[in-house]
Each structure stands twice: as C-alpha cells, then as structure tokens.
Amino acid sequence: MPGAQVVPGGGGGKTEKYVDNKRKDDIRMANIAAGKAVADAVRTSLGPRGMDKMLSTANGDVIITNDGATILNKMEVLQPAAKMLVELSKSQDIVAGDGTTTVVVIAGALLRQCQILLGMGVHPTVISDALHKASEKAVEVLTAMAVPVELSDRESLVKSASTSLNSKVVSQYSSLLAPLAVDAVLNVIDPARPNSVDLRDVKVLKKLGGTVDDTEMIKGLVFDHKASHTAGGPTRVENAKIGLIQFQVSPPKTDIEQNVIVSDYTQMDRILKEERNYILGMIKKIKATGCNVLLVQKSILRDAVTDLSLHYLAKAKILVVRDVEREDIEFISKTLNCLPIANIEHFRAEKLGQADLVEEIHVGSGSIVKATGIKNMGRTTTILVKGSNALVLDEAERSLHDALCVVRCLVNKRFLIAGGGAPEIEVSRQLGAWAKTLHGMESYCVRAFAEALEVVPYTLAENAGLNPISIVTELRNRHANGEVNTGINIRKGQITNILEENVVQPLLVSTSAISLATECVRMILKIDDIVSTR
C-alpha cells in the first residue's frame, strides 16, 4: 500500500506494527497548497505594472491597494498554514516596510519547489536544512553586490524612495512624495542614535480636499480639529504659550452612580454658583501662568470641557483645541517640548510650550489648527496628505508609509541594491553554480531554491505584459556574461542596466524577504499533522 510500511515489532516478538505515513503527506501537501493559493492571490500585484485589489470589508468599507501586507491583512484566511503567510507579510512590513508582496511570492515559489522535491521522495528535514544553507548563501551574494550609500547623498535616498512608490496607485506623484519622505526621516534622526529612526516621530495627517499634489511637510504641529468657537473664542494667537492638559475643565462628579433631588430653587442656584466659581477658579489659575492656547485631552469619564467653561475660556482669550487623542499626547509633548499636566495644582509656566503662531486654517471640507515657529522644537515632523477622495487618501498614506520605511532601512543598513529582478537572477545564477559543487540531495534542494528565485523577474515581466520566458532567458545570459546589475526595465519593456535607470532599493528589503520567506517555508515543511484543541 503506498504511504504505508510494515515494521517488525521490537523484542524479537512476532507482532508487526503498521505505520501510516499517508496522512502526514496529505497534511503537508494541504498546507503547501494553501500557502501557494495565498501567494497566487497577491502575485498579480507585484511590480510597477501590477494590478490593484479592491477589498470590501464586512462593515461595507472599500479599500483599493496593491500593498501586499494590507491585502493579506484584510483577507479572511482560515487555514492555519495560509495564516502563516499573512504573518510573514506582516513581519516583512515591520522589518523593512517594503517588499511585502515580494516576500509572499518568493515563499509561494519555494513551496512549489518543495512540493516537487517531496514528490521525488526527498525527506522534509533534508529540504529544510538545505533551504537554510541556501538562504544564508543568498544573503552573502546580495551583500556582495550591494553599493554603499551615505545619508548625505540625498539623491540616492530619493531614488530609493521613488522605486518603492513606482508600484503604487499614486505612482504619478512619486516625484513629490519621495523627497518628502526623505526629508521627514532625515529631520527626525537623533544624533545620539544615528543608526535608528522611530517612525512614530513622523505624523501623517490625512485631510480630504484638493489633490495629492497639495501634500506638504509642516515644520510644526497640526491638529485635525478646529478650534473651539463657543462664545467667540480666538482662532489665531501670536506668541502662543501652549498648555497640554489631561484633566477636565468641568464640574466634578461623584465616583458612584447616584441622583440628587433638589426641590428648592435657592439650593439649585447655589449648586450652579458653586460650579461657576469652581470653573472660574481653574481658568484664573490657567490664565495666571500666561497660557493662551489650551490643548485638552479627550475624556471618557465625563466631559473634558463644558459650554460654561468654554465661555469663560473664550472671555480669557484662550484658544481651545479639545478632544486630543490619548495616543497623540507623547508626540505633542515631544514636539512642543512641554509636559502634559495631569492636575490644575501642577499648572506652572515652565511646563508650557511656546510657538510664534497658532491659528485655525480651512483645508478642503474642514479645518485644522496649525502651530508654527515652535521654540526648542523636538525632532518630529508632520506630513499633511491631501486627496480628492477617501480611497486615494488612504492609499497615499500607505504608500508614504512604505517610502518612509525604505528610507528608514537605509539609515539602519546603508547599502543600496539594484531592483527590477536583477538581484534575484544574480542570486539564482550563483546558487545554481554553487549547487554543482555540493553532493547528494543537498545539491537538488539548492538548485530548487535557485529556480524558485526566478519567480520575481518572471512575475515582473508577466505583469508588465512582456514575454516572461524570453525576458528571463535573456536576463540569465546577460548575468552569465558578468552584467550583475542588469534587470527588467518595465518603462521601456526591455532589459537594461537597472542601476543607471535609478531603480534601486535598500539591501535590507531583499535580504529580509529571502530570509523570512525561507524561515516560513521551513516551518510549513516541518508540520506533519494539524491537531485541533477546540
């Protein structure tokens, strides 16, 4: 019977033990098939001419994107092995930010090769070990063909950011968004930690109205709220002293849920008078410090501000921005170089931030509050993204995130590598040559790994409407003749030196894509059963 074997019993007995391997093979093949299906779903969106996906979420929202991580994240994947490819894409997004589609496509191609090797009778552990060795060798090859880059070379950074934007819906705006991304990252680099960038220091704010052309970088602080207009409060303040408060400027409430019944009008007046005096006392303390702009954190327990407190704040000529989100507090305090104030008793002049101008500006269909000329401003940057509709706006934000991540990669690991399928073909060629020096099954497995990497140039050519077989064959020949940086020029529909065409990407994107894809495939290979613990 295929997949089964009869093993003599131990201890010299005449009993025989029946071992069924067919179930294990079936589970492994089912996992591989699920992984390939996920890879095939995103494969058509690889490269500058890749197609976009329209995703319809359960609550009726529509997303149009070709960002691999976003597509897979929104897909409802039930099969456990297929979920691993979704997590793989997320990992690539965290490590490099770009190449989220590439990593899944490479994993799918490796799974396809593993299926062939398993069909030839190669043991999964042998394949797994060989894949690990091949991926380490691939990273060595990629590192050897990388070109070092300095952060002072702004042009190279912009080229790299442009390459990541070329495959996006907003690719026609790459000449605007790429320099923005580079400048934003360079602005937030801390001299004390020159090799790391925290992208939380770059705030991307979306505003409907206008086109992506109107996107701008603001050296200052922007709030996606209008200033409070109750009782004619100010909407423009010069020489602003800004207080960031985390307490409520409203009458206190008891901790327990209770009702107080007041039957006497004089008692009612007394309650209202006490409330008024309580709020007035707070506002006098705020005004005494010279504060003329108040940022109020959103409160979930009770109203952070009431109409009465807004009325008195307007009389005191204090501009109020309310409903500041809790997660924005750290960014605001870092930008303004001020401290958040949790209690009115701790309201001091030295805890305030200072700016030359805080004003409300009408943008598109709404308003924003903008603070410029901030004294002792922290290393943060705000990018205001505009778009004609919500779908374009969301995709512009995702594309900008990818571009920011690409520049961050170059800060972490300062090496550039050619794009357009050139590194994959070069790695494939060198691994093929290395496989000939190996012996036994390892040689087969490394050759299979080399063939799997050809999926990237093949898919790039296929999505661009070129003949993939002739393109990949010509690429192989050119690389065999020593033209290491030769890749597919999608714009011209031919093979050229891709470095001269300014199609470059960070080394970290390629190395992490190959390492992560190999790690995921090795894990899927080692699974021989699925046990439900429900």
Q: What is the pLDDT of residues 215-229, one digit of tens each?
A: 888 888 898 888 887
pLDDT band at 6; cut points 50, 70, 90 = very low
Tell me the average pLDDT across 289-309.
Answer: 85
Distance (Å) of CA 440 to CA 127, 206, 360: 12, 57, 72
Q: What is the mean pLDDT of residues 50-66?
A: 87
Q: What is the DSSP letter of 389?
A: S
CA–CA distance, 375 with 21 (Å, rounded to integer): 71
Confidence check: pLDDT of 10 > 60: no
Mode of pairing for the β-strands spanning 202-208 and 381-387:
parallel
In tens, the pLDDT along 363-387 reads 877 788 888 888 888 889 999 998 8
For the entire predicted model, the pTM comes to: 0.83
Side-chain half-sphere CA neighbours of 174 within 13 A:
19
Q: How far apart are the first and last CA of the chain?
A: 33
What CA–CA distances, in Å, run from 115 to 183, 371, 526?
Answer: 46, 59, 13
Question: Of residues 263 and 383, which shows the higher confidence score?
Answer: 383
Tell me which H or E stretch contains 16.
Answer: strand 16-20
Q: What is the largest CA-CA distance in the chain?
A: 103
Reported confidence tier of residue 275, pLDDT bands at 50, 70, 90: confident
CATH superfamily for domain 220-376: GroEL (3.50.7.10)
pLDDT of residue 59: 83
Give 393-415 pLDDT, tens digit per residue.
Answer: 888 888 898 899 889 888 888 89
Cβ-in-10-Å burial (0-12, 13-18, 19+) of 388 comes to middle
Rounded to whole angstroms, the Cα distance separating 505 from 340 reads 40
pLDDT at 13: 47
Task: Tell me the residue ranges of DSSP E strands in 146-273.
Answer: 147-148, 202-208, 216-218, 220-223, 236-245
What is the overall mean pLDDT for the chain? Answer: 86
List residues with catalytic annotation: 67, 100-101, 402
> 371 has which bridge partners?
221, 358
How big is the CA angle at 523 (ends 519 and 528), to the nearest 5 degrees? 165
Minimal CA–CA distance to 505: which of 157, 181, 92? 157
CA distance 219 to 203: 11
What is the dihedral sign for C-alpha 395, 398, 402, 404? positive
Q: Read off the pLDDT of each residue in 518-524 and give the average, rounded to a whole number.
A: 93
- Are the beta carbons of 38 and 61 closer than 8 angstroms? no
Alpha helices in 413-506 (DSSP H): 422-435, 440-453, 455-463, 468-480
Q: Domain 16-148+418-525: which topology?
A: GROEL; domain 1 (1.10.560)
Domain limits, the chain: 16-148+418-525, 220-376
Residue 16 in this model has a pLDDT that exceeds 70 = no
- Collect contacts of 336-340 with beta carbons under 8 A, ≥24 apart: 336/221, 336/242, 336/244, 336/371, 336/374, 336/377, 336/378, 337/374, 337/375, 337/376, 337/377, 337/378, 338/242, 338/243, 338/244, 339/244, 340/244, 340/245, 340/246, 340/297
**DSSP per residue, 207-219:** EESS-GGG-EEES
